[in-house]
Amino acid sequence: MKGCRFVTNSADETRELAGRLAERFQPGDVVALEGDLGAGKTTFSQGVAKGLGIEESIDSPTFTLIKEYGEGRLPFYHMDVYRLDSPDEELGWDEYFYGDGVTLVEWAERIQNWLPDRLIRVAIRHLESGGREITVLPPDECEERICRGGKA
Ligand code: ADP
Ligand code: MG
């Protein structure tokens, strides 16, 4: 098995899937979200937040780049680095990536050089049907914990 793949047919289905995956996350997990504008990265992030027990509503931290939520099962750091001035900009990334929370990065490919090797990669792709294909690729040693044989 190399990761797991899902198809969702609505934003709510994406949130529910993300919420179920989030229940399996552990301190130090870093989720790198890839996908075009409108793919559903923020929608997925909303599901993760809910799955971690965060009640607050989540939108894209487009201008602040990083938002921290402390009230869930684990601290949750939500990043959207689309507007980062330069890929070299240092915003204290390691504090998040190697901390005790769960970090989720929208447009992760823009901070390639800062990302840890141990990444849960999530790619969201818009299907012609209007649905979304969501591919989850955890590090090998976490594959069983996150993918559970492909069942979400
Ligand atoms: P991104 O953060 O990748 O730019 P958003 O999550 O902000 O994307 O936007 C995704 C849009 O697509 C939302 O308006 C959402 O309601 C809609 N949508 C429709 N179907 C889905 C689906 N299956 N999964 C996620 N979003 C969906
Ligand atoms: Mg977004």
Domain carrying residue 34:
4-150
Q: At what angle do helices 11-22 and 41-51 cross, to 10 degrees?
A: 40
Distance 149 CA to ligand 1 centre (A): 26
Q: CA 137, 140, 145 angle in degrees (round to 5)?
A: 80
Q: Whose structure tokens read 């990083």?
A: 66
Note down pLDDT in tens along the chain; length 152 residues: 689 999 999 999 999 999 999 999 999 999 999 999 999 999 999 999 999 999 999 988 888 899 999 999 999 999 999 999 999 999 999 999 999 999 999 999 999 999 999 999 999 999 999 999 999 999 999 999 999 877 77
Q: CA 72, 66, 14 angle in degrees (round to 5)?
A: 60
Nearest alpha carbon, ligand 1 atom 6: 40
Please report, for the domain that includes residue 40, its CATH number: 3.40.50.300
Distance 47 CA to ligand 2 centre (A): 13
DSSP assignment of the chain equals --SEEEEESSHHHHHHHHHHHHTT--TT-EEEEE--TTSSHHHHHHHHHHHTT--S-----TTTSEEEE-SSSS-EEEEEGGG-S-TT--S-HHHHHTSSSEEEEETGGGGGGGS-SS-EEEEEEE-TTS-EEEEEE--GGGHHHHHGGG--
Nearest alpha carbon, ligand 1 atom 27: 11
Respond yes or no on whether ipTM tops 0.95: yes
Number of domains making up the chain: 1
